[in-house]
Amino acid sequence: MNLSQFRPTLIAASLSLALALPLAVSAQQPTVEDAAAFIEEVEQWSREYGEYSARVAWIQATYINFDSNWLATRANTESTEKGVAFANRAKDFNDLELPPDMRRKIEKVKLGLNLPAPTRAGAAGELAEINNRMRSAYATGKIELDGEQVARNDLEEMMGTLRDPDRLQEIWTLWREVPVAEREDGGNMKSDYAAMVKLSNEGARELGFDDVGTMWRSRYDLPPADFAAETDRLWNQIKPLYDQLQCHVRAELNEAYGDDVVPLDQPIRADLLGNMWAQSWNNIYDLVGPESADPGYDLTGLLEQHDYDALQIVKTGEAFFSSLGFDPLPESFWERSQITKPEDREVVCHASAWNLDGKDDIRIKMCTKVNEDDFNTVHHELGHNYYQRAYQDQSPIFQTGANGGFHEAIGDMVALSITPEYLQTIGLLDEVPDASSDLGLLMGRALDKVAFQPFGLLMDKWRWQVFSGELTPDEYNDGWWALRTEYQGIRPPVARSGDHFDPGSKYHIPNNVSYTRYFIAHILQFQFHQAACEMAGWEGPLHRCSVYGSSAVGERFNAMLEMGASQPWPDALEAFTGTRQMDGTAMVNYFAPLMTWLEEQNADRSCGW
């Protein structure tokens, strides 16, 4: 789960590096004029340096060599240092009465700093060193299998394809040895994490927050405690759907592996779900999917049959947005995007959407292949691009999603409109399959999106407990598995103790990337989709709806997109959906036919754990 939209600005640049910086505002009480001048300085620097650092990052991603890596490292360091400086200056205006727009900008500058270092001498350098060690440990940790070192990507792939429970247990366990591997000085990732928590909490308190977890929750335009309650409310809306899915998956895995491996009265072994972290289960569709659930068409085959190439796939994605009333992509998009993998150099192929100048220089970076996955990905990435262009007139401080989940939700909402009806409309499919073909498609999507939700929620719940002191270092691992069992109904395949640090086996923990936004994005994409389908006058099953060609949807959609983060997210949500509250029932409605089928399958089973 990576962010697929990119424009580094000073308020988004910092993850860990920090310097001990003096306060820039004088000892006298700051004034509104001081705050206005500070905001103008932030905005001007962000426009100028943001574009520079974005262009450096683009070069580094599309021309990977020593020099581009050197430039990117330097640009990132400078952006981080400036972000730290601005965040520390912004706190000087904490007690000043400001107009709402100015107050929102000041808070955005403070909250853009992911891990705040204390201002005392040496603390920032110590925090940077700790975080660099954790990132390095994750990225460079060696894993040996059968006497040979194995690449992480290979191990992840093996978790999705192997069906030998003993082998899966071995790989799962080896992966989790890296976070507890001791260095020469006797430390490891777990001890570093505890030190990071202590230092960054000290910095958060200097910025006016109780702890880092409170600071992260403050990004969502609600009191931190209210936001935590909001995530619980959303989870409880979709939990019955997840419970039915978990029950069915456990029963089918029991059929495949037997009672000794998958007891029907216990949580599911985490290594059997097709993913290193059991966060997405689509790799085990062959074991748990409905029998004879044929979707009725093969999109990859249809693309090949109609002689699509990578460029045509992107043109088709643009045509989707044009059908909603959006202006065509600028010529520079076609001239400057990386649509296919160059043959003459190393590049980053991970799909991403970029805005390099905060205006019209929008691009995608992909190594597009002619297949179903990339057809869907193009529609998703272009959703980011149209969002970026829509909010270009906002302050640089507001040039991002309305909250952490909006950007990903926008792209995913668009991808939900790739239905058989849409494929028929654009000439790829001659005849739309009947509803009997939908069950397999819904199951595949549920194994990805529904199965993800409890993991998306508990990642930060665990961190909130750590930052608040509810979990001490000795309790880190026990607290982790308590949450995984409570929310996901899974268990480790082997005994774990307080000496382990299994949270560190997930990239986002040692790299300090908040995860709640992904949980929120999965809620919002279905809520956006349901609202759009209602605007378009769709009357059939929600999973069959495509809003292609609806100018009414496009007009309301753009009204939300152009707001960026300039208003609290409930305002942006209301502009499109007519409601100010996030709602998980849209996801439940989308999967209603699957829910009915799951309940039938589980009628004589004992569910729960």
Question: Which residue(s) pair with 338 in the sheet?
Answer: 365
Task: Return the minimum-mean-pLDDT range out of 4-18, 54-68, 356-370, 373-387.
Answer: 4-18
Is the pLDDT at 4 greater than 60? The verdict is no
More confident residue, 6 or 60: 60
- pLDDT classification of 123: cutoffs 50, 70, 90: confident
Structure token digits, residue 525: 């994409």
Treating both helix axes as pointing N-terminal to C-terminal, what angle do 406-415 and 516-535 enclose, rounded to 10 degrees? 50
Rounded Cα gap, residues 44 and 211, in angstroms: 30
Beta carbons within 10 angstroms of residue 359's beta carbon: 15
- pLDDT classification of 27: cutoffs 50, 70, 90: low
Beta carbons within 10 angstroms of residue 18's beta carbon: 30
Is the pLDDT at 301 greater than 90? The verdict is yes
3-state DSSP call for residue 579?
A: coil
pLDDT value for 77: 77
Residue 144 belongs to what H/E stretch? strand 144-145
Q: Is residue 108 part of a domain?
A: yes
Is the pLDDT at 153 greater than 90? The verdict is no
pLDDT value for 15: 32
381 catalytic? Reply is yes
Contact at 8 Å (CB) between 421 and 295?
no
pLDDT value for 276: 96
CB contact set of 540 (below 8 Å; sequence gap of 6+): none
Question: Which residue(s) pair with 268 in the sheet?
Answer: 490
Number of domains in the chain: 1
Contact at 8 Å (CB) between 444 and 289?
yes
CB contact set of 200 (below 8 Å; sequence gap of 6+): 115, 116, 117, 127, 212, 467
Q: Given the DSSP bridges, would you call strands 144-145 and 5-6 parallel, antiparallel or unpaired? A: unpaired
Q: Is residue 203 part of a domain?
A: yes
**Mean pLDDT, rounded, for 492-520:** 95
Beta carbons within 10 angstroms of residue 194's beta carbon: 18
Q: Per-residue pLDDT tens for 462-478?
A: 999 999 999 999 999 99
Structure token digits, residue 236: 């409880």
Contact at 8 Å (CB) between 502 and 493?
no
Residue 261 has φ and ψ, to the nearest 5°, of -90, -40
Which one, of 494, 526, 383, 508, lies nearest residue 458 by Cα? 508
pLDDT value for 114: 87
Q: Is the dihedral of CA 125, 76, 514, 459 positive or negative?
A: negative
More confident residue, 289 or 141: 289
- pLDDT classification of 102: cutoffs 50, 70, 90: very high
Which one, of 382, 273, 370, lies nearest residue 337 by Cα? 382
Q: Report CA 392 to chain centroid distance, whole Å.
A: 22
Structure token digits, residue 342: 């160059």
Rounded Cα gap, residues 429 and 286, in angstroms: 25
Contact at 8 Å (CB) between 344 and 350?
no
What letter would DSSP give residue 502? G
Structure token digits, residue 170: 């071995």
Q: Is the dihedral of CA 53, 54, 56, 60 positive or negative?
A: positive
More confident residue, 491 or 60: 491
Residue 181 CB-half CA count within 13 A: 17
3-state DSSP call for residue 568?
A: coil
**Mean pLDDT, rounded, for 360-383:** 94
Q: Is residue 199 part of a domain?
A: yes
Q: Is the dihedral of CA 179, 181, 183, 185 positive or negative?
A: positive
Contact at 8 Å (CB) between 296 and 420?
yes
Question: Which residue(s) pair with 354 in the sheet?
Answer: 6, 363
pLDDT value for 47: 94
pLDDT value for 73: 80
Among the listed residues 379, 508, 522, 529, the single catalytic one is 508
Q: Is residue 577 part of a domain?
A: no
3-state DSSP call for residue 291?
A: coil
Structure token digits, residue 140: 């460079």
pTM: 0.91
Residue 586 CB-half CA count within 13 A: 23
Q: Per-residue pLDDT tens for 555-601?
A: 999 999 999 999 999 999 999 999 999 999 999 999 999 999 999 99
Rounded Cα gap, residues 77 and 66, in angstroms: 17
Treating both helix axes as pointing N-terminal to C-terminal, what angle do 123-140 and 189-206 enclose, rounded to 10 degrees? 140
Rounded Cα gap, residues 34 and 102, in angstroms: 11
* R_g (Cα) of the chain, nearest Å: 24
Is the pLDDT at 22 greater than 60? The verdict is no
Is the pLDDT at 10 greater than 50? The verdict is no
Name the residue range of residue 119's domain: 5-130+194-208
pLDDT value for 21: 35
Burial of 198: CB neighbours in 10 Å, binned 0-12, 13-18, 19+? middle
Task: Return the minimum-mean-pLDDT range out of 176-180, 346-350, 483-487.
Answer: 346-350
pLDDT value for 495: 97
- pLDDT classification of 82: cutoffs 50, 70, 90: confident
Is the pLDDT at 252 greater than 80? The verdict is yes
Q: Is residue 65 part of a domain?
A: yes
**Mean pLDDT, rounded, for 273-287:** 95
Q: Is residue 75 part of a domain?
A: yes
Beta carbons within 10 angstroms of residue 587's beta carbon: 26
Instruction: Give the Å distances, CA to CA, from 16 to 119, 168, 463.
Output: 14, 34, 16
**Mean pLDDT, rounded, for 487-508:** 96
Q: Is residue 426 part of a domain?
A: no
Q: Is residue 112 part of a domain?
A: yes
Rounded Cα gap, residues 195 and 135, in angstroms: 14
Among the listed residues 43, 51, 81, 381, the single catalytic one is 381
Biggest alpha carbon–alpha carbon distance for the chain:
74
Q: Per-residue pLDDT tens for 267-277?
A: 999 999 999 99
**Percent of the chain scoring above 90 in pLDDT:** 78
Burial of 166: CB neighbours in 10 Å, binned 0-12, 13-18, 19+? exposed
Is the pLDDT at 381 greater than 70? The verdict is yes
Mean of pLDDT over the chain: 92
Rounded Cα gap, residues 404 and 222, in angstroms: 13
Structure token digits, residue 367: 């190594």
Q: Where are the beta strands (DSSP E) in 457-497?
A: 490-491
